[in-house]
Structure 1
Amino acid sequence: MATSTDEMTKLSWRRFEDGDNVWDNLTEQIFVQDTSHKCPTYVHKTPPCQGSCPSGEDIRGWLQIVRGIEQPPEGMTWQEYAFRRSTDANPFPSMMGRVCPAPCQDGCNRNEVEDFVGINAVEQFIGDTATANGYKFEPAPVDTGKRVAVIGGGPAGLAAAYQLRRKGHAATIFEANSELGGMFRYGIPGYRVPRDALDAEINRILDMGQIELKMGAKVGVDVTVDQLEKDYDAILWAIGCQSGRGLPVPGWEGTPNCVSGVAFLKAFNEGRMKVTADKVVCVGGGDTSIDVVSVARRLGHITKSGKSDLPETVIHDGYVAHDTAMTAAAEGAEVTLTSLFTREKMTASEHEVHDALHEGVTVLDGVMPVEVIKNAEGRAIGLKVADCEMKDGRPTPVEGTERVLDADLVVAAIGQGGELTGLEDLDNGRGLMNSDKFYQVPDKPGHFVAGDIIRPHLLTTAIGQAWIAVESIDEYVNKAEHKRRPKVDVHHFDLLAKMNEAKLAPEQFKVEASGDLRGTSDANYAIHNYEDRSGAEVIPHDELYLAHFPHTPRVLRREEVPSSEEVLGHFKERVIGYSEEDAVNEAKRCMSCGMCFECDNCVIFCPQDAVFRVNKSESTTGRYVDTDYDKCIGCHICADVCPTGYIKMGLGE
């Protein structure tokens, strides 16, 4: 019986188009059979989610654990095993699951079926479960006696301290602020990053021991670089970008109620700024600007205020704070976000822009600031803007489209720079530091760098750079040459390590007992039909058999996004995490690109029964199926029906 139109919710997927009736590659001529000379081999490649992750997390790996495919070692729960796998690259699963814009999801091959896998939602579940269960990091190995100065206690600095301890090196963190966390604490509002969850993940790192803290210490001012070079074996600069860039328009410079987005958010996150202005205009279009306008809508303004109550007074003076009692009189603020780019090209994620609109923010896209309008007292009373068009890559105002947006506070969220007072020798002329591919400071032996001070980017980028920088530091302090970094530089699945973990390690190779060395298909000392290309190749969707995957809607996290009427004073956490059932169901949507996930297609469809399941006592991830090459005729049906692209017809002549 034919399927009715009403039941057809998704078009079917086909590997071949109508009219394709001739094999265009001689090695793939299925009907040549026993003279094709090609048999299947199992090729591990990096999935695009992982290749798109600046931290290089083994995303496929921990999704496989959550869904129940990859089993934990004896005596460990899958929840703890998923935590340990995810934190191999990034020690902040709870934080990143909440705030990372998830480039991994943009790269996800599941987008070719219906929708990406909710990777950051599963990661949040892993992190929150780890905190609830009190999981700790493995104890650090034996102390190497090496001491590394880490300048900055933000995401990059903390991730570096974590990776240094995993290698047995001691770390001293120099932090100019009173608390650790950097942009996690001072740049992102608490309703997006709950401070108890942040503190739990920071303390888990500190609990590894031999991480000394020097708080309120600004290197270059309170501590000299010369002293650090004498006291430590290496120095890692992870100072971030703490100064915001002003608008390059007339009237900005020196105007008291024109402030940077970085300073605005810091004053709020330190708990000093309790209210904002009546009319707030923020220029941006990225994630920082979204946080600014969302905070401004939540704070509101008070009608009657003295000079000390003005938001810019608190923002400019780090020792001034609003009286908490004034929040009782707060009224809603009129908040506008302007962006050079049209909405679809804004760097802020689409759902963040949608949430801001829902909260009552006015978004003007495709406009540019032209001039700050000031009154006789020198205060900004408006921002002149105009429609924008790009000419030779530069924004240019469209003549005749100028208009003035009323403003009591103008916020610039158009970029950040480093604060390099006392560190002028390290300044590359742009308020940043230079780095080579090993994250060394050029011409500064023993100096390494990671994070926004190289180039402001994502939190996950800073964490990934810190990992590679620590690898380089380890080689430097051990006087070893830097190893060549792989083309796909991420945390890869290691089959040999997995087989050791599962107590299936190959036997020791013995020359005298090996006999005929021309093949290894029957040998227990070699992994004979497995090839690891993960360091060089990311597997694209067209190498997968997408027809295997049914249309399965994404399990959406719940979010508490207040309406424009509810937003004033609303500081509840925005993202509501998965239940265990939801996390498992969402992980099951992962297509396991580039790695077997035990679907049995190759076993079922092989016409010669050449492909078979490995004995259960010898089976583990990456070793689920094998091939009897005496039976294989090279028809490559197994490769055609492999959903993950793990099987390639490459063995033989």
Structure 2
Amino acid sequence: MSTTTNEMQSLTLRRFKEGDHQPKDWQEQIFQAGWSHKCPTYVHRTPPCQGSCPAGEDIRGWLQIARGLDKPTADEPWQAYAFRRLTEANPFPAVMGRVCPAPCEQGCNRNAVEDHVGINAVEHKIGDWARENDLKFDAPGEPTGRHVAIIGSGPAGMAAAYQLRKRGHACTLFEAQEELGGMMRYGIPGYRVPRQVLDAEIQRILDLGVEVRTGVWVGRDITIEQLDNDYDAVLWAVGTHKGRDLPVEGFEAAPNCLTGVDFLRAFNEGRLHAVSDRVIVIGGGDTSIDVASVARRLGYSSELGDNQGVEHVVMGYTAHDAASLAVREGAKVTLTSLFPREEMTATDQEVEDALREGVDIKAGVMPVAVITDDEGRATAVRFAECRMEKNRPVPLEGTEFEVETDLVISAIGQMGNLEGLEALDNGNGFMDCDPHFQVKGRPGHFVAGDIIRPHLLTTAIGQARSAVASMDHYFQTGEPAKFPKINVLHFNLLQAMRKAGQEPTPYEPQPVRGTADSAFAVHNYEDRSKVEIIKHDQLFLGHFKPTPRHQRQHREISEDSVIGDFDERLHPLSDEEAVAEAERCMSCGLCFECDNCLIYCPQDAVERVPKKERATGRYVQTDYTRCIGCHICRDVCPTGYIEMGLGE
């Protein structure tokens, strides 16, 4: 619960000043308000869920489809219609519905009522339904004659290929590995993203006509100059596949000190089937949680030979024979974080799962040194309690302690492996770009994803969409695109009217005084969605009855049963649960046809738009010959769609 019971009881007063708790004399209120000469206008703004979504999904739009406000054409299931709307921005709904930490839910205005809408859960359901029913994307756009090279097939590279094909541009994917997917495949364990789910969503993009060249390292097997000669533009989406060593004494030289990136790659490639008896993972983010959770699942086997140590497998010198490791015991896995547990960057659910599965988390501590034996192998890590000063850890005197170990894994960050691409390296293992996602100093070269700055998978997807839009503008004008303040997919009233067969008639030059009766204009509507996000204090929250969130079934695994358990933990909502959860959406910034303004208008000035003229966002209208500017309609509008402004 995000709001206490006492706070919920005062939600109906959200429109009024602190201390107002008695109804006023409406007759006097109406009389005084009439002096303002203000009448309602209908103003569309971006909801905070959408403004918080790095991929820029039209979240409110596909939730309205799920709840039945925006209906599909005849014989089309709502899930298929919602899938088409959702994937305009994000072609990986089944993957993101599982692993995205959902910043959209943190921004959700429903948190001011009781609890956010389960956006991620509904997305999960839509993505799984699409896979189970073999949904395909619409045919690619008309060929433009342009051909783009995409370097990397992770979330940014694959999303870029999807967006390019939608626009009719040909593209070739270059991937250094033998399989596509980047960090979705090599960095996330299969029990979080089942490989059949990932493969299906990748194949759906390839079916649009994407050329693929795997096992090709650009910078070694093919040069930047060759790309410039053979393609009209290049999009760099190489990701960050090089882990950071722990910057403490003893780590770099010890053979049993590894990075989380290398560890997870060995596991996801099927080479690693057991770990050491005692494992220390240093991090605090989601990658470190994945490493620790994988280690607990693999367990320890005394049958490992001297040449089958974890470091031999991770570095590619050998591989485990899973059949020979039938007997395994639980490894002792310790995860450490510089920050206190409540400030760890890993998601709360992943931290809770790790604790339940037997991972020992030591928070608020920093590594000081790696202790090694005569052979140079790590035998312990010395830690100290610490406090953070300007985002840097400072050890607390007298708090040092040691934790014995057989394996140390650093999961403190990643960078790009830019071998052969030194000309693009900014000196820190990343690529620099301008605000238009164009590589600085290289016209026609664009970049997206973690190689700019490591962040979420959904951030890479959103950056790819923007980079392709910028590239498309570059093809047309020679200059990259500029983006609005709020760079997401926005509701478009004209598109909604076209879908309903209500497109305005062509404008013919003529004397005009007002547009209330004109068929060529949408009267008294303003779209501020590219510059404004609507906040909860602009809504009438008292309209919304607190309703518990419909939560996905989450399989909880105990530390006694975690070894060898690689089945998926998260199960989707049912169709009925997904619809019920979507109904909790408050449609912030856009009418959802509640009739409040019509019911409470004392002048009967508000009326429904004739049924044959309705469309999403065009449900009510105001007779300005009757409106006296009392602003009651604004006060009782749950979504903040009504603004008193006409007449100023």
On the 8 A contact 1:73/1:502 being kept in 2, the answer is no
Q: Look up the match of 1:103.
A: 103
Show the 5 A alignment for 1:206-217. 206-209=206-209, 211-217=210-216
Show the 5 A alignment for 1:111-130. 111-130=111-130
Structure 1 CA distance for aligned equivalents of residues 640 and 634 of structure 2: 7
Q: Look up the match of 2:201.
A: 201
Letter in 2 for 1:37: H
Give the secondary structure class of the aligned counterpart of 1:329.
Answer: coil
TM-superposition CA deviations, 1:539-586 (whole Å, max 9, x none) = 010000011111101111011121111101111101100100010010
Show the 5 A alignment for 1:516-535. 516-535=511-530
On the 8 A contact 1:73/1:501 being kept in 2, the answer is no
Q: Look up the match of 1:251.
A: 250
Structure 2 CA distance for aligned equivalents of residues 393 and 199 of structure 1: 39
Whether 2:640 is the aligned partner of 1:651: answer: no
Give the secondary structure class of the aligned counterpart of 2:290.
Answer: helix
Structure 2 CA distance for aligned equivalents of residues 239 and 561 of structure 1: 35
Q: Look up the match of 1:283.
A: 282
Give the secondary structure class of the aligned counterpart of 1:478.
Answer: helix
Whether 2:150 is the aligned partner of 1:150: answer: yes
Whether 2:321 is the aligned partner of 1:339: answer: no
Letter in 1 for 2:265: K
Letter in 1 for 2:231: Y
Give the secondary structure class of the aligned counterpart of 1:353.
Answer: helix
Show the 5 A alignment for 1:249-648. 249-317=248-316, 320-511=318-509, 514=510, 516-648=511-643
Using the TM superposition, name which of 391-400 and 577-586 deviates more: 391-400
TM-superposition CA deviations, 1:383-427 (whole Å, max 9, x none) = 111101123542111111111111111011100010011100100
> Percent same amino acid among aligned pairs?
61
Shift of the 388–30 alpha-carbon distance from structure 1 to 2, 3 Å rule, reads: farther
CA deviation after TM superposition for structure 1 residue 321, in Å: 1.4
CA deviation after TM superposition for structure 1 residue 308, in Å: 2.5
Give the secondary structure class of the aligned counterpart of 1:292.
Answer: helix
Q: Look up the match of 1:163.
A: 163
Structure 2 CA distance for aligned equivalents of residues 243 and 110 of structure 1: 40
CA deviation after TM superposition for structure 1 residue 163, in Å: 0.1
Letter in 2 for 1:345: E
Structure 1 CA distance for aligned equivalents of residues 235 and 480 of structure 2: 17
On the 8 A contact 1:293/1:356 being kept in 2, the answer is yes
Structure 1 CA distance for aligned equivalents of residues 201 and 207 of structure 2: 10
Whether 2:79 is the aligned partner of 1:84: answer: no
On the 8 A contact 1:302/1:326 being kept in 2, the answer is no
Letter in 2 for 1:95: V
Q: Look up the match of 1:232.
A: 231
TM-superposition CA deviations, 1:252-306 (whole Å, max 9, x none) = 0121110101111110011110011111110001010010011000000112321
Letter in 2 for 1:498: A
CA deviation after TM superposition for structure 1 residue 325, in Å: 1.1
Using the TM superposition, name which of 218-227 and 472-481 deviates more: 472-481
Using the TM superposition, name which of 160-169 and 382-391 deviates more: 382-391
Using the TM superposition, name which of 472-481 and 442-451 deviates more: 472-481
TM-superposition CA deviations, 1:182-227 (whole Å, max 9, x none) = 1110000000001001111000000011x11110000001111110
TM-superposition CA deviations, 1:63-107 (whole Å, max 9, x none) = 010011111234532111100000000000000000000010111
Letter in 2 for 1:618: E
TM-score, with length taken from structure 2: 0.96
Letter in 2 for 1:153: S
TM-superposition CA deviations, 1:435-472 (whole Å, max 9, x none) = 11110001111111000000011001100000010011
Give the secondary structure class of the aligned counterpart of 2:418.
Answer: coil
Give the secondary structure class of the aligned counterpart of 1:381.
Answer: strand
On the 8 A contact 1:339/1:366 being kept in 2, the answer is yes
On the 8 A contact 1:284/1:337 being kept in 2, the answer is yes
Structure 2 CA distance for aligned equivalents of residues 393 and 169 of structure 1: 44
TM-score, with length taken from structure 1: 0.96
CA deviation after TM superposition for structure 1 residue 333, in Å: 0.6
Query: What is the aligned-residue RMSD (CA, Å)?
Result: 1.7
Shift of the 55–392 alpha-carbon distance from structure 1 to 2, 3 Å rule, reads: closer
Q: Look up the match of 1:3.
A: none
Shift of the 438–354 alpha-carbon distance from structure 1 to 2, 3 Å rule, reads: same
Q: Which runs of 5+ in 2 are unaligned?
A: none
Structure 2 CA distance for aligned equivalents of residues 207 and 111 of structure 1: 40
Show the 5 A alignment for 1:16-27. 16-17=16-17, 19-20=19-20
Shift of the 125–399 alpha-carbon distance from structure 1 to 2, 3 Å rule, reads: same
Structure 2 CA distance for aligned equivalents of residues 21 and 93 of structure 1: 45
CA deviation after TM superposition for structure 1 residue 21, in Å: 9.0
Letter in 2 for 1:90: N
Structure 1 CA distance for aligned equivalents of residues 497 and 337 of structure 2: 52
Structure 1 CA distance for aligned equivalents of residues 297 and 481 of structure 2: 50
Using the TM superposition, name which of 385-394 and 159-168 deviates more: 385-394
On the 8 A contact 1:340/1:365 being kept in 2, the answer is yes
- Count of aligned pairs between the two proteins: 638
TM-superposition CA deviations, 1:468-503 (whole Å, max 9, x none) = 100111112223444431101100011101111221
On the 8 A contact 1:29/1:36 being kept in 2, the answer is no
Whether 2:66 is the aligned partner of 1:66: answer: yes
On the 8 A contact 1:274/1:299 being kept in 2, the answer is yes
Q: Look up the match of 1:176.
A: 176
Structure 1 CA distance for aligned equivalents of residues 390 and 426 of structure 2: 26
CA deviation after TM superposition for structure 1 residue 125, in Å: 0.5
Structure 2 CA distance for aligned equivalents of residues 22 and 536 of structure 1: 36
Letter in 1 for 2:399: T
